[in-house]
Amino acid sequence: MPTFIEQQVQGLMNDLASCLCSTLANAAEAGEVPAVCFCGVIPGTDAVLDFCGEGQAWVRLAGIIPVIEEQFNDCVMQYDVTLEVGVARCAPMVNELGDPPTLAEQFDANVTLVRDMGLMHKVITCCDTVADQGRPEQFTTFGPEGDCLGGAWMATWRIV
């Protein structure tokens, strides 16, 4: 049977992933960004970028720190849970003739990267089920490596 902290952390991750997936789907439907073929909770220290060609999004547990505060002579255990919220897409690459990506391809990839960054920030700060506690900390880009390009936010929630 899962402990209280397990239920809280998994519930937070599921809620965040659900909001991320629906936010990205709505943005794709509106033509703001391409659709992603995978969106969900993943385990591990790094996202495995198996689906970046079709786009992928994830929520991953990055770390957890116990916080002990004394309140009215009682020890109350809390946790700061850090989650990674990320999106990866296919990067503009050298074509079959050996030509580098065009300036327009690079520009379009950057526009999508910045839109994804904004959508993820919106998920962390505005989704009803998670926004009241989430604190976005840093957005980091990655790639292009292995044909993948993207970025991820680290954000922390206090679990009581």
Per residue in 78-132, pLDDT tens? Answer: 889 999 999 999 999 988 999 999 999 999 999 999 999 999 999 999 887 765 6
Q: How far is CA 150 from the centre of its chain?
A: 10
Task: Say if residues 36 and 57 touch (Cβ distance below 8 Å).
Answer: yes
Instruction: Report how far residue 79's alpha carbon sits from residue 69's, in angstroms, rounded to the nearest whole number.
Output: 11
- What lies within 8 Å, CB to CB, of 18 at 6+ separation is 129
123: its two tokens: 């998920």
The domain ranges of the chain are 4-159
pTM beyond 0.75, yes or no: yes
pLDDT for the residue numbered 69: 67
Q: Which residues face 15 on adjacent strands?
A: none
Task: Say if residues 151 and 119 touch (Cβ distance below 8 Å).
Answer: no
Residue 149: name the closest of 96, 95, 99, 106 by CA. Answer: 106
115: its two tokens: 């839109």
Per residue in 30-75, pLDDT tens? Answer: 999 999 999 999 999 998 888 788 899 999 999 999 887 666 556 6
Q: What is the CATH number of domain 4-159?
A: 3.30.2000.10
- In total, the chain counts a number of residues equal to 160
DSSP state of 46: S
